[in-house]
Chains A and B, each alone.
Chain A
Amino acid sequence: MRIEYINPFIEAAFDILNEVLQTNVKRNELYLKKLGDSMKGVAVVIGVTGNVSGRIVFDMTEDTALNIASKMNGEKFTKFDDMVRSTIGELANMVTGRSVTRLEKENLSFNFTPPTIITGENIHIYEFSDMEALIIPIDTGLGIVEINIAFKEN
């Protein structure tokens, strides 16, 4: 996986989280994960086509999702309801939207599907290819959001 495909997402996620949360957002060390490893509880999945095929997953615990939604809405949420789902989906949209601008600057063309939110304990996401996922953990100050990227060059 070429780094120029990944960097726009890392930078976009870091910038957007900083802008909307205004917490002390920190980037932790990247690592690789085998596909099929379990997710944390709330997974926002966005399909990607264009120069690459694959998907991005924003992976977080339900508590982190509730903390982020509470901060973004200025009100306390204790249940994973429609407004929390909408907020988390919108956050993922903002990150992909920002990364498009950065990808275009690199003359790369990516298309994205609207976000799908999957929730539950012990979720596994499998793909039928030999990809490995690159994980970018971001410490938002309200919990860890892992950006899980698996792309295959076309």
Chain B
Amino acid sequence: MAIIFDENGLPTGRKVEGGHVRVLIVDDSQFVIKHLTQIFMSRDFEIAGTAENGKAGLELFKSMKGQIDLVTLDITMPEMDGIETLKAIRELDPNVTVVMITALGTVESVKEAIKLGAKGYIVKPIDREKVIERIGQILK
């Protein structure tokens, strides 16, 4: 998926081929969901859905299979954690871009997520500039 970057080199949520990048946000914190939603929407991304645990996120992903371009996954979540959700999502669609969002800057979980196909990770606190910059690097 190729996206359009603005004159400052920052990513927009518009695809080169037309249309918007559709994002699924999976995080057990309403606070994080709210802030990521605001950040993505301010850059023209489209929020396809949000879920507060991995199981619900996976169900949403299945119901919208083929229509999601980008998934943000929290690592520590109830019901089904981010690593398990990542595995299941990648089995369903190996081409989807998955970005891990984590407060736990532990090397091991991040390494495992990357090995399982995550394209990158963002360490909390969620900061607008940091998220936009990282998403730009990941989608380049």
Hey, which bits of chain A sit against chain B, CB under 8 A?
16, 19-20, 72-73, 82-83, 86-87, 89-90, 93-94, 96-98, 100-101, 104, 112, 114
Given A16-B125, A19-B125, A94-B124, verify A86-B103 contact (CB < 8 Å): no
Main secondary structure of the interface of B (DSSP, over half): loop
With a CB–CB cut-off of 8 A, which chain A residues contact B103? Answer: 90, 93-94, 96-98
Q: Which of B68-127 contact A (CB under 8 A)?
A: 76, 78, 102-107, 123-125, 127
Q: Is the CB of A73 within 8 A of B32?
A: no
The minimal Cβ–Cβ distance linking B68 to chain A, given in whole angstroms, is 24
- Give the docked Cα–Cα distance between A134 and B34 (Å): 34
With a CB–CB cut-off of 8 A, which chain B residues contact A89? Answer: 29, 31
Q: Is the CB of A97 within 8 A of B104?
A: yes
Q: Is the CB of A114 within 8 A of B31?
A: no
With a CB–CB cut-off of 8 A, which chain B residues contact A72? Answer: 31
Query: Which residue of B28, B78, B105 contacts A98 across the interface (Cβ within 8 Å)?
Result: B105
- Give the docked Cα–Cα distance between A100 and B107 (Å): 10
The minimal Cβ–Cβ distance linking B33 to chain A, given in whole angstroms, is 9
The reply to whether the CB of B30 lies closer than 8 angstroms to some CB of chain A is: yes
